[in-house]
Amino acid sequence: MIATAGGSEALHIALEAHVGAGDEVIIPDPGFVAYDALTKLTGAEPVPVPVRDDLTIDPAAIEDAITEDTAAFIVNSPGNPTGAVSPLADVEAFARIAREHDLLCVSDEVYGRIVFDGEHRSPAEFAPEQTVVVDACSKTYSMTGWRLGWVAAAPERVERMLRVHQYVQACASAPAQYAAAAALSGPQDVVTEMVDTFEQRRDLVVDGLRDIGLDVPTPEGAFYAMPEVPEGFVDECIERGVVVVPGEAFGDAGEGYARLSYATATEELEEALEIMGEAYAAVQ
């Protein structure tokens, strides 16, 4: 394991150490914006694969996209921007694909403790030699500004990533490492309380979006919702003071969707939903 300056560095060194020019990396579409950019920084080519209608990552679509140039694929559960949680059968399939095709599976598990329905499982349980796990304190412990994350993998992969890490970042700061150790080893009741609160906000937002008339899969984790939206909806929301992100910012398959975060106070969410209802009416 390597302590990193946040999950962003963890993703960077995981890819930089394992892929390069001429390689392909399969990424979810829509998916976290860094996957595409960090793949390109290595010289490799990102290959976006659309998610299912329920916004979960489809193992069959990943397998169909594999070519002789494929070196790795990225999975993310719970997902950003979707909030989707991969079921156990899919996680086992990710591991099988990595083993059978001799590919690296980069598993982004930054939201792994923020799960409302089902449970979080890691491909590393089933393919430890082929998986690099990326995690951080930023979401679970609300430590975004502390910039403390980590990568976990088999020893030979850790050694490869160390060669990149030592020139990318001298080290994660000592205060952040002590803070992370305290967070990880201390009482976890605050995490349970936070997740319960997020679940209440999730229900409020999903019900509110559906009352407006929007179709939205129920997010099973993280703190995002990604409804299908009509043309002009995002602009109308922004003009009225509610910031939502157009789905295409996360990949071409995100077109026609919008991502919103419910990591804010309930009162503000209620106000935002009212404004979004006005925005929806304005574009109909």
Residue 173 sits in the same domain as residue 206: no
Residue 181 has pLDDT above 90, yes or no: yes
Mean per-residue pLDDT for 244-273?
Answer: 96
Which pLDDT value is given to residue 171?
87
Mean per-residue pLDDT for 25-36?
Answer: 97
Give 135-166 pLDDT, tens digit per residue.
999 999 999 999 999 999 999 999 999 999 99
Residue 35 sits in the same domain as residue 160: yes
Residue 67 sits in the same domain as residue 159: yes
Which pLDDT value is given to residue 96?
98
Which CATH number does the domain housing residue 273 bear? 3.90.1150.10
Which pLDDT value is given to residue 222?
97
Domain edge (last residue) among 153, 185, 217: 185
> Across the chain, what does the average pLDDT equal?
96
Residue 118 sits in the same domain as residue 194: no
Dihedral angle at the C-alpha atoms of 248, 252, 257, 259, nearest 10 degrees? -50
Residue 42 sits in the same domain as residue 151: yes
Domain edge (last residue) among 185, 212, 237: 185
Overall pTM > 0.85: yes
Domain edge (last residue) among 138, 160, 185: 185
Residue 33 sits in the same domain as residue 153: yes
Residue 153 sits in the same domain as residue 114: yes
Domain that holds residue 130: 2-185
Residue 205 sits in the same domain as residue 179: no
